Each structure stands twice: as structure tokens, then as C-alpha cells.
Structure 1
Amino acid sequence: MGLGKIGVVLAVLCWGFGASGETPSKPQAAKVLRYAFEIAETGFDPAQISDYYSRTATENMFDALYRYDYLARPAKVIPNVADGMPVITDDFRNYTIKVKPGIYFADDPAFGGKKRELTAQDFVYTFKRIFDPKTKAQIYPDLEEVKLLGMDALRRAAEKPGASFNYDTDVEGLRALDRYTIQFKMLESKPRFIYLLTESSVLGVVAREVVEKYGDKIMEHPVGTGPFKLDQWTRSSKITFVKNPNFREEYYEAEPPADDELSQEIYRQMKGKRIPVVDKVEISIIDEVQPRWLSFLGNEHDFLMYLPAQFANQVIPNNKLAPNLVKKGIRIERYAAPEVTFSYFNMENPTVGGNTVDKVALRRAIALAYNTEEEIRVPRRNQAIAAQGVVPPNTWGYDPKFKSEMSDYNPARAKALLDMFGYVDKDGDGWRDMPDGSPLVLEYATSPSAADRELNEVWKKSMTAVGIQVVFKTAKWPENLKAARAGKVMMWGLGNSASSPDGGSFLDFGYGPQKFEGNLAAFQNDEYDKLYRQQVVMPDGPDRLAIMQKMVKILVTYMPYKFNTHRIRTDVMQPWLIGYRRHPTSRAFWRYVDIDLSKLPKP
């Protein structure tokens, strides 16, 4: 994510201008997309990042083999730098893919002044890098689960004391068959492997020369083949991206649904335009909701990603755009986001962790005491629905009829559970204690924003009502994430958004081998892990769905997570922003939008 000055694109002068006396055409102003992230980025190395905002940046700088059609619904995978769809054999165990020739990385000193073409070997290196323990790749558990033949052995060899990862070792499961052909071979059937091959945000192809040149500084030096490149970066403040001059010749194409009038109109407006259309993207980091909204109202931003719930009553009364904003030409898009908000319990924490009956009772009592309805009504301004489990709307496997205890609000039952298992006030100070008499104090990680403070108030009010003391430990989001991955957080509330159309990908929340990674709670359950491994090799269908629902019930029973809501999101657009449409899983929208300079307000 980067920042810079607004440039101009000079019109090309006619040959012989000096002799003919012709006047040059007027310079055209640059088209700049401006908006804000609500949470700061962590960096730009696809292999190391995990947060939504950094992944938004990398998804627009790096390429994967495949991507999603921007307008197709349901989500449709199409070739990106791959030359056609994969040849799949051996019951989804072998994928052979051709890479398009003539695709180049952005210029960088690592290439010694030469243009660097993308090859199949670059994908081999990119995937191997995820297995290198030194990389500490956040997506490693997902790729480990694929079981590429030979890669686990290569990883284990690199984990030995004093050893390093050998990138030059040939492995059966990950090979460049020639300059433009890559082959993946897996131990087990992987019918949804194609979704991983769209993950440009975390599996975007990188060049070995770049990684080796910048070493530990690679988070600051993204070099991809995508439509944009980093221009300037002021950490946690502002980032500017500019067009990648080496980006291939590509034109807007899509398959909008025939019955979707908005997508059809966007397609008419954008069809045939060369991608990317805008020249520059400027991202501000504004964590407080009011200044983010005021920046949009003041025409400083072209787009407001996620209308803050605090302004829902003002902007979308009765869930329709307010008349005064309609008059300005402002537009909105509302959708059930494929995401889940949750609070987790660190299962290794001595206060709230563990699978003994009394610890399970404590977590279930806390969940029953938490007022999800108030969270939806007050901090979220009715812009959410209660979550019954981890699988979100608009993903495969979500069942709107499924009901569980997860969303129940029952303080009386919570108190009864606490009393039954000895969580009572033993010292008469008004707060419940642990069964051994030590204080029962929940430590909840949070961030210093108005939105977090409102959510904290619901937690405080809910816990106080049943006699549980809660204190809030405030830090910036990246700091909380670092502490969470180190197992140093007792409780934390955050959200997760789908990166593929498969709701089953959310089930790694409880998968033991991903503890403190995808499984932040560090939940361990043999039955859950067995079911997880079983469903991951199954094609989509009723049998897989039944297993997924059984896994959700296990999470409800042990309550390592309190899944709170699925948010109803609203994006807000200025009249001069053309072509925007929220995709269910992809964040790579920068290349698909345009700025109508004639509609921009005059300074």
C-alpha cells in the first residue's frame, strides 16, 4: 500500500509540431481512486501477511494463476495469468497448468536493468516459499493441508537444527515441466484446490531475485506482475499505488447475470476499456469512524468501504439512502457479507481455557450472558444478523435455517451454570471468583477506536449483569494480532471474511494443527480434526454439508469461539466513481473501476 503526488498524463504531440505551428493538446488529469482503510496495513509480502487490508493491497499488485470474473454471480473462476483452465486428472489429485508467455514483473533493481518475464518456475518458487519455516507464512497450514507430494519432507528437513530450506530440490508434487507449464500433484483428492490458485493476495507470484535481494525487508518491497505497484508508503498513515507500466495488455470483460440490471449497466459502461483504468490509488488509514465518514462527505474520497454502523440511521434510514444524499448522486450497495464476527477464548489460558467440564461451563455461561441482540441493535445499528455458527452467508455450506445455542441470550441460565460449577462470589466484593477462590477476571483485547469502545460496552454490560469482571487491554490491531499468534491473549473480538466461495474454509477455526493461526483459539478436539480431514477431500454435496454441520455443533458444544454476527455491509460511492460492484470474495476491484473526471467537484 503506498502514497504519492498526483501526476498528469501528457498527450502525445503530433510529429512535426514545431514546424507546423500546431498547439499541443491539453494535458489530461490523472484518474485517482481515493478511499480509506479502517485498520492499518502490516506489510506487502503476500507470504507473510494475513490481515484483510494488507491482502487488499497485495491482491492488486500480485497475480495468481486464476481470478474471479468480477461481475459473474455466483462466483466464477477464470484464467488470470494461466493460459486456460487446468487439466485435472487422477480424481482431483493432479493439476497441470500453462502460464501465458509475455507477462512481466514490474521493474526493480533486483533484475539488473532487464525486463523479467514470468515463468512456471516462479510459481514453483512462490509455493515452496510458503513451506520455508523462515518465511512464517500465514497461509502455510492451508497449503500444508493440500499435501503436495514431497513438500512435507522438504519442510521437515528445513526444520532440523542448523538446516535451511533447499529451494533447488526437485519434488514430485510441485514442478515446472517446461518454461510455461507447472504441475501440482497431491496425495489426496483436492476438488477445491482451484480456489487456492486464485489467492493472489497471499499466493501472488514473486520472483526469487527480489526476495533474496531484500531479505528481511521484503515486506517493504513488493514486486509483482499485477496492474499496480507500490509508489509511496507512510506506515499506518497513507499509501499510494500507481499503474505498473509493465502490466500486460488486458481489456475489461465479464459475464454479468442477465437479470442483474446494475451489473449489466456496469458492463455496458466498462466493456472494452483497457485495464487498469485509473492511474493511481491513494489509501488513507483512518481508524476512527467519524473522520472517515467526513472525508467521504467532503469529497476527499471517492468510495467509502463499509459504511460505519454508527451512521446507518443517518445515511440509510430504513435501509434506504437518505434523500439528501440521493440528490448528490451518491449511490450505495448493501449485501450480506460472507464474513463472521466473533470473540475467541484462548484454550491454553488458565482462566478460560481447557476442555474440562467446569471450563466448558464457564465459556458457555459467558456466551449465554452476552447480549448479541444488543450488539446488533446498538453498535451495529441493525446492520447485522445473529450468527448460529462459523459458516457465513454467500458461501457454500451456509444454511439460513440452521439454529444453534450460539446466538442465545439467557442470563438466568448463565448464572445457573456459573453457580453450579463454583464460579461464585467467595470474598463478598460483588464479583464472581474462580472455584479455588482466586479472582475471575476476563482480559479482553481491544483497539482504540470508537467502534471498539461501543462493542466493549456491550461486553462490559453483559458480564456485569452476571457478576463477571472484565477488563480491556487496548493496543493497535497489528499488535493484538502479534500477541494473539504468540498465545498471549485471553480473549479478543474480530472478524473474518471469505477469500473463496467455500464456506468450509472457515472450519479451520477449530482445526488443531492450525492453532494460533487459522485456529486462534488453539482448540484441540480429535473428533473435529477427523471430520475436518474427511470433508476437505469430499466434493460439494449433501454428505459434505452434513459433516460441516456436525463440526459446527462441536464448536457450539465446547465454545472456543462465541460467533456473534454476520454483518450487512453497505458501500457508499460518489457519483463520479464508475464500475464498482462488491464481489463476494475478491478484493481486486481497483483495476475494474473508472473515475468520470467531468463529474469531479471543482476545487
Structure 2
Amino acid sequence: MRRRDLLASAALPLPAWASAAPERVLRVGTDIAEVGFDPPRVSDRTSVTINAHIFESPLTYDYLARPALLRPQTAAALPEASENFTRWVFTLQPGIFFADDPAFGGKPRELVAADYVYSIKRFFDPRIPTEHLFHFENAGILGLSELRQRALKAKTGLDYDAPVAGLRALDRYRFEIRLARPAPRFVQLFAVPGLTGALAREVVEHYDDELPAHPVGTGPFMLQRWRRGSQVRLVRNPRFREQHFDSLATDLNAEDQALLKRLQGRRLPLVDAVEVNVILEEQPRWLAFHGGEIDVLELPPTLAPAVMPGGRLAPYLAQRGVQARAQVDASVRHTFFNCEDPDIGGLQPERVALRRAIALAYDNTEELRSVFKGQGVPAQSMLVPAVYGFDATLRSAAGSGDMARARALLDTYGYRDVDRDGWREHPDGRSLTLRLAGLSDSRQRAINELWLKKMRLLGLRIVFEPGQFGELIKNSLAGTLQMWSYSWTTSQPDGDFFLALGYGPNAGQANDARLVLPAFDRAYEKQRALPDGPERLAAMRAANRLMLAYQPYLPHFHALRVDLSQPGVEGYRRHPFTRDWWRYTAKE
């Protein structure tokens, strides 16, 4: 109760300039409840997107350029890389300030290099639960893992003041990172606010456990009100620097050329406030958009046949001036199999055969058609389109719905109905039950029905374990879930992120499947150290084949995202790798 009261009191008065003209409010609908606003602690889509508008990383991506083009955000320029990509130096722009907050004692607080040093160190603090540590730990920042181990051994928090060789502020505006091994694409982490957004130490220490309710950053917006699981209201940050829309993109289609012409040079952000409305069920969310209560919405897949018949916006919506933009997302919906689970885990041939049989029996095409109404592209592996390393020619049998092969595989490895109760047992006669976790909404119920149908045909008993998203993440990190279906979306234009889902040292973080396979780890480490080119691509494909062979994951599909916007909304579009779309969205 104390926490809810504190959140309710977080409303701040509107700044004086907001009363000079009617407030331009962008109203957004989302289907996922936010968890909180401390970047290391969250990975749900809603929290990550909101954080991207509050916290800023040194770099970003050009809003219109495709393929992705890195550009400075709070940095003065792109970083200096040297010593075979093991040394990186970032230089910040002076005169960037955090939003005002009581933690600063009534004084303006400038962003400095030490803020990025501190913010990165937080991922290594054992007191902060995070599934994102692997991004930095795998890169081998000199001294930080050892600092974390000392804190773990002493059962204390991280000593933030202890110097480490791999991360330090060189002066007020420059910081240096040194790595144990070459990491040519390490720079991409610094365009992800959820990983390298700057927090001020005073704010973290002032709010302590209540920090997720008090995000304070240098971004274009700040939190005004939070009604948990219902609405988040952001307002323009009065301290936000003078930033104007521009793009270096050269190969633009006619629509983007027109948008660039309309927005070029306009001061950001283009709206005064953003209201994020959490509406979990699809029909009420659609009705809110249809009735004009929200301005932008990702089209619920089940409504696609009525709203986008034949892939085109329905005439009655087009006549109203509604706009639709569709693109294949840099994401993959998948099911992980816990490789430590006593029933489906392990690297023994019969356990690998069990996972592969389950994957063979499931039908991605039927799932896309019946549950997601065709709003996606069947996935052949965990690597997604638009990232380096994606192989458009790859074809996998996983998710093919090949029941005959799946049954034959189980028969071969001794999974038979020994007690004649209608369900297969383990080869040693022990009972076998699959457990699939998921949300409790209508979409998940439809997915569960498909799983039940396919596993019955295969002769495997399956039960379902519903839970809230935050609870499911917590249980996944703890290794207590056997199977869970959800989506991973990347913020980096490189396939390393998806291969990292199978890397042994990442078990308990992003490696939800807890796969530990030395041959895969060697292939993963090899590709990570190589510059882009044929040798790296060969190593990436070798790692990808091993992931498919041992089946820690069943890839389902890459989502087709359709973003709808009301008349008067301009510039709203989904960048594949950034999340701060509202910065560039105008509402007339």
C-alpha cells in the first residue's frame, strides 16, 4: 500500500510554458503492463519504450535511414575505437542537463562522463536483478566482473568508488572503456537507452528501493503520473536541450521524403505530453482507438482481416484519415525449453530427440493463421530479418507440423505409452508432463488450445501455468519454468544478440533455455571477436545450426507490425532498433 500511495503522489505540476497554448497530447495504447522505470530491472516492451524517452544513451540511430545508421545523441561525435576494438573513448556534449528533481537540491545538474560510468556499473551490482548483464560481461570490461565477484563474496552491494581498469571517466566529458577481447560491434550497446541510458547517482541513492517510480533522465520527457497497470503520463522535460529534427538518409521513398520535408528543422519533441494507456484485451483496445480515445495503436492481429483486408486499410478508415504502416519487426516469437528441467532438459540423445519432436509437431503456419491472423512470417531460426547474419535461404523443420516424423522420433528413442493411459512416458517408464507458462489473456488461451491439440496427437501430456509478465520473467530467471512462449525484440542491427540466447555463460539471464553446449560457446565466441565478413558469417551459421540441432528454442515467427495513427498524427513510425518514436511524433 505504501508503494501505491507513493506512486500516486508522483504527479508533478505542469511547467509554466504548457499553459500558453493548448496542450498537444499523444495518447498511446499498449497491450503490456509496465513493470517500472529503472533500466537494468526491466525488459517488457512498455517499460523499455517509456524509458527510451526519459533516459538517453550517448548514441542513437538516424530516424529515417535504412539500413541503420549510428549517430551521436548526447555524445559530441561517434566514439574513438583503437587497439583492435578493445579501447573505446566517448566524448559528451557539454550543456546537457537532467530533468529537475529534489535529489539535486534545487540546482541544475549537468550530464557528465561519470554518469555513464556509474550507470554501466549498476548492471554489475548483485543487489540489482537484471537479465541484461551479459551484454557487458561478455565483452569483458576489464575489472568489472572481478568487482562484482568481490561483492558477491562479501554479500554486499557493488563498490562504485573502486577504480577498475576497464571503465573510467578521463575528465568531465570523456569516458574510456577497455575490453579483454576485441569487440567490433560493442559500440552498438551505446545506442540502447535500456543498457547505456544515463542515471544520476544522487537520484538512485535518494530514492533507493523506490527508484523505479522516480526515473530522472536527460531525455525529452519526464514522468508526471503513474497509475500502475493503467496509465503512464509523460510531459515535456523543461530542461531538455535544443534539439531539432534532421536526417542523413539519402535513399528515401516518396512518403519519407515528404515527411523529412515537413519535419526538417522542427524542435523536438513535437508534442507536449504522452499518455500511455494499458489496455490488455484486444477488443477494448481497438474500440478505444476506433472511438478516438487513443491516437496511435499497434493493430491487434485478430482484427487484421477486418481492419487491413488484403493488406490494405479498410476504406471506411482511410476515408477518416487513419494511417497505417506495416513492417516485419526485428523480433522473434519463440518457445524456450529449459535445458536444466528434469523432464525435457539435458544433452542426452533421447532428451534432444524429445525437444526436436515437440518442435516438429508444432505448426507455426497454423498458429499464424488461426491465432495471429497471418500477421507474421514463419521463422526458420532465432535470427531475425534486418540483422547481420540472417540467412534468408535457411529452411528448418522446426514448427513444420510434421506429426509423422515427430512420432517416429519419439518411438525411436523409447518414448512410449507404457501404462496404456494414452500418454507417452520417459524411456525409463517415468511419467512425462510438459508445462507451458504464459499470460492469462484470450490470445494465450487460443495458443494453449493449439498446443493441447498438437501434443495430444503426439501423445504427450501438457498443462498450462498462467502468470503475470513480471512474475514469469522472475521465474524464468530463476530457472523454474519448463517452457514459455514470448517474443524477443532486438535494439541492435546484429545477429549476435539472438545467438547470445544460447551462450552458456548467459544462463540465468537472456539464455532462458539454460543451454550449456561447449561447441556452441566456441562458435559464438569466435564470431563475436571477428569483424563482419565471410569468416564471421560462417561462424554465425555454425552456431545457428547447433542451436537448431539441440533445440533449446522453437522459433515461431517474425511479427508483422501494423501501426495505426489517427488523422493529425504525423511522423509516427517504428524504427527497427530504437524505441524513442514519440520524440519525433507530431500531433496537430
Q: Distance in 1 between matches of 2:284 and 2:11?
A: 21
- Would you say 1:153 and 2:164 are equivalent positions? no
CA contact (8 A) 1:8 1:28 kept: no
- Matching residue of 1:556: 548
Equivalences for 1:76-475 in 2 at 5 Å? Answer: 76-305=69-298, 307-475=299-467
Query: Which structure 1 residue ranges, 5 or more long, are not aligned?
Result: 13-26, 597-603
Q: Secondary structure at the match of 2:561?
A: strand
User: SS at 2:138's partner residue?
Assistant: helix
- Relative to the length of structure 1, the TM-score reads 0.93
- TM-score scaled by length of structure 2: 0.96
* Structure number, greater radius of gyration: 1
Q: Do the aligned residues in 2 keep the contact of 1:66 with 1:81 (CA within 8 Å)?
A: yes
Out of 439, 456, 481, the position equivalent to 2:473 is 481
The one-character-per-residue Cα deviations of 1:12-50 (angstroms, maximum 9, x if unpaired) are: 9xxxxxxxxxxxxxx521011111221111110012212
Return the alpha-carbon distance in structure 2 between the equivalents of residues 213 and 253 of structure 1. Answer: 37
In structure 2, the CA distance between the partners of 1:258 and 1:48, relative to structure 1 (3 Å rule), is same
Q: CA deviation at 1:161?
A: 2.7
Structure 1 residues 162 and 581, CA, compared in 2 at 3 Å: closer, same or farther?
A: closer
Equivalent position amino acid for 1:69 in 2: D
Q: Secondary structure at the match of 1:464?
A: helix
Aligned to 2:36: 43
Aligned to 1:21: none
Aligned residues: 581
**1:377-401 superposed Cα distances (whole Å, 9 cap, x missing partner):** 1111111121111110111111111
Structure 1 equivalent of residue 3 of structure 2: none
Structure 1 residue 546 corresponds to structure 2 residue 538:
yes
- The answer to whether the 8 Å contact 2:131/2:477 transfers is no
Q: How many angstroms apart in 2 are the aligned matches of 1:361 and 1:11?
A: 62
User: C-alpha displacement at 1:5, in angstroms?
Assistant: 10
More divergent stretch after superposition (399-408 vs 383-392): 399-408
When residues 161 and 214 of structure 1 are mapped into structure 2, their CA distance, relative to the original with a 3 A threshold, is same
CA–CA distance in 2 between the matches of 1:567 and 1:179?
43
- Deviation sequence 1:440-484 (CA, Å, 0-9, x none): 221110111111112112111111111212111111111111111
Distance 1:341 1:190 in 2: 28
The answer as to whether partners of 2:268 and 2:584 remain within 8 angstroms in 1 is: yes
Aligned partner letter, 1:337 = D
What is the aligned counterpart of 1:518 among 510, 518, 525?
Answer: 510
How big is each residue's C-alpha offset from its partner over 1:497-549, in whole Å with a ceiling of 9 and x where there is no partner? 11111122111110011112110010110011111111111111111111111
State the 1:580 CA deviation: 1.4
Q: Cα distance, 1:408 vs. partner?
A: 2.7
Aligned amino acid, residue 284 of structure 1: N
Task: Report the Cα distance in structure 2 between the residues aligned to 1:135 and 1:155, rounded to whole angstroms.
Answer: 11
Is it true that 1:30 corresponds to 2:18 in the alignment? no
Give 3-state SS (helix, strand or coil) of 1:182's partner.
strand
Q: Give me the whole-angstrom Cα distance separating, in 2, the residues matched to 1:147 and 1:468.
A: 43
Q: For 2:382 and 2:76, how far apart are their aligned partners in 1? A: 36
Greater shift, 432-441 or 289-298, is seen at: 432-441
> CA separation in 2, counterparts of 1:271 and 1:432?
64
Please give the secondary structure, in 2, of the residue aligned with 1:231: strand
- The answer to whether the Cα contact below 8 Å between 2:18 and 2:272 also exists between their aligned partners in 1 is no
Deviation at 1:8, TM superposition (A): 9.5
Give the Cα–Cα distance (whole angstroms) in 2 for the partners of residues 548 and 367 of structure 1.
Answer: 22
Q: Secondary structure at the match of 2:244?
A: coil
| Sequence identity percentage | 41
In 2, Cα distance between the equivalents of 1:591 and 1:393?
Answer: 26
Q: Residue 17 of structure 1 corresponds to which residue in structure 2?
A: none
| Cα-to-partner distance string for 1:172-228 (whole Å, 9 max, x where unaligned) | 211111111111111211111111011112321011111111112211111111111
Q: Give the secondary structure class of the aligned counterpart of 1:159.
A: helix
